[in-house]
Chain A
Amino acid sequence: MAKRSVVDFDIALARAGIDRRTRKMHDKAEHLLLEIQRPLEERIRQLAPVGSRPDDEKRLREGVFAEVVVRSDGPQLRAGVLGVRHAIPVEFGTSTMPAHPFVRPAVAEFAARLKRS
């Protein structure tokens, strides 16, 4: 019986250690994500199409967002365009209009940067 409680104690210690390290890792990841949040937003705006429909394009750029969300399984960086209906046809294209991806290239660029850091 006594032996079992020692094992339980060891497991509890190990779990506490893992939790501490996970928290540390999450804090570091959150810090990194907060650092790239604004530059990512800027990059998406930069890649957004500029051309023949200035009003639509202005609304597109105004709808761009990037935010860090902290969840129990770690921090997440979400980026995209909010409240602009033509963002999806622009990003993915339609049967009458070629795609002009601007969110995915920016995200890929910053994801690669994060991987390297």
Chain B
Amino acid sequence: MTVTDVDLEKSPSPVIEPVAISPKKAKKPWGFMFWVAISWLVLVIGGTAIANVVDWKKDADFTGAPVVNGCGWRATVSWLPSRVPSVSKDFEQLNAIQLERQAAFDASQSEADQVALQQANNQLDPVKTCYDALKTKSDMESITPQGKWSHPFGLNFSGNDILVDVVRGAKNSLFIAAATIFLGFVVGGITGMFAGYFRGRLDMICSALMNVLLSVPGLLFILLMIAVLSSRGGNGQAQGLTSSVYKVSFALGILSIPQIFRVVRGSTMQFAQREFVMAARAMGAKVPRILMGEILPNVAKPMFAFGLVAAGSVMVLEGALSFLGIGVGSGTDTTAWGKQIAAASQRQDLEAAPMVAFIPGLALFFTILSLNYIGDKARERLETKQGAI
């Protein structure tokens, strides 16, 4: 709310008030869903903040429970770090099944039947073995309810608590979204403002460049960028695609520049023709002052709303990248939502334990949804304000 608005409201109303000043409408409330969306975002951001502080004891083996075949079936993380998970009973059951399998394996070895050996080996694939054992117990979830609240969503295929992984995975998505939008606005926003204000040749060159960048196939471009940025060096032998948070942010940021450029340029062009800019120019204001003092504050408001929505679409792309295994957390032990989804998206896994894939998916969905919703609401409000001028 600007100063003039307050003044108008508080000034003793003159007689002609209804004619001179349109009666000030009461501000539309944000609505219930808006606060739900806000609180979801706060929850996610707060969760990432906590996730860095709390020691989840991620890889500590559960004492007393045998880890069979290195299947990594660790009951490690309790939601409240002080509580000790009590899933040893399940481990006994699991162990029994594993021993059975082991016996079968040994038997087939004594027969020396190559085919049977192969089958047994397949069955003894560590993760699958754990998983098969679980399937006989009908479901992933059924193994966990011992400490009812120790694993509210159960464990995933690498034996981590799903909820904890989701909380830990949020960090990268959020960071990348923020960094990308920042880069996009710094480069795209500044060039957009200059192009929109000065027009002419500068605008033509910038727009042509951005058009080229805009018609590059997006996902491919990111792939290429990451390939270029990854693993520079060594003996000249190519090493697969490795990536980090910074590489992904950089690639996505480059890709977001033209979109932001276009929007900023458009709205700068709009504002550059308004009376107050002309007035400033007539008063002899220099270009930097007009850009910073007159245009930027006006452009920034709708851009804020656009940035929120753009952050949502960046998160989609980021999730897609880490789903493909080239985004964050490829190879390393950092985790990301896309990676968690990918880890549980084999057909059999998906069929039997869909929630392992869908819970991080839902987290991603809700985050994007709330970003879109907040962006939408903010734009609505800012636009009506513009219209009222």
Decide whether A and B assemble into one complex: no
Question: Which of A's residues lie within 8 Å of B, judged by CB?
Answer: none
Chain B residues engaging chain A, CB cutoff 8 angstroms: none
